[in-house]
Amino acid sequence: MNLKAKAPLPLIVLTVLILISSALAGAGFYLYKKELGLNLKLQADLESTKTKLNVTERRFEEAQKKSNLLDLQLKDAQANLDSLKGELDQEKSARAEALSKMQQIKTDLDQQRSAKTDLENKLKQAQEEVKNAQGQVNELQSQKKDLETKLSDLERKTQGVELGKIVVGPESAPLAAQGAQGRLLEGKVLVVNKDYNFAVLNLGGKDGVFVGAIFSVYRGNNYIGDVKVEKVHDSMAAAGFTSNEVKDKVAEGDRVVQKSK
């Protein structure tokens, strides 16, 4: 009876194997479904990732284009900056040069102002000198008029009077040359005017005196120098000094003797 009650072993094993196979098949199907779902999800994620990648690539390309554009703009900006820097340097140089020129102009202006002040002072001084000179000229003109008046008076007073002194004899030959007819013409100094550089002699045209005649001047027997006749009146003549030394020495009353040619 025990043998009938027990199941055969192969059947049990088969049953177990079937159960295991079923379990494995169910598990396999489950895993397949799960893997399929996972694959679908991964596929969807991959597609999404590709889409995002494409979007990212497009954005990258756009960003690259923008970057290139920015590079170009940066290069332009750098070129403009370099140009502005060059212009700024030129402006600084021009400004420095302008400041230097302004300083030079200021210096020149100060010098011109100083020169103007000096010129004004010199002009004032020159005006004072001209004023003084004019006063001296007026004074000299007054003296000249007085002398001319005196000369006229002397000429009127000596009209018809023998002013010249005719010296005859060999003793006079060393003092002067011979005049008309071999005689020596001798006179004296009436007036001395050192401002106008002339002396008035008491010899004139009627005595044979002529313009250009030279007379030697003596004080006693001492020779002083020569004078040259520049203007001749009837009874007197004006003679200029031949040197400053003669002008300083000649005095009124000195004796004059005509020199030979």
The fold for domain 158-258 equals Thrombin, subunit H (2.40.10)
Dihedral (CA of 135, 140, 142, 143) sign: positive
Cα gap 234→256, rounded to integer Å: 17
**Residue ranges per domain, the chain?**
1-121, 158-258
Does the model's pTM come out above 0.95?
A: no
Q: CA quadruple 112, 115, 121, 123: dihedral positive or negative?
A: negative
Mean pLDDT by runs of 10 across the 261 residues of the chain is: 57 84 80 80 83 84 84 85 86 86 86 86 83 73 69 58 36 37 79 92 93 95 95 94 93 93 61
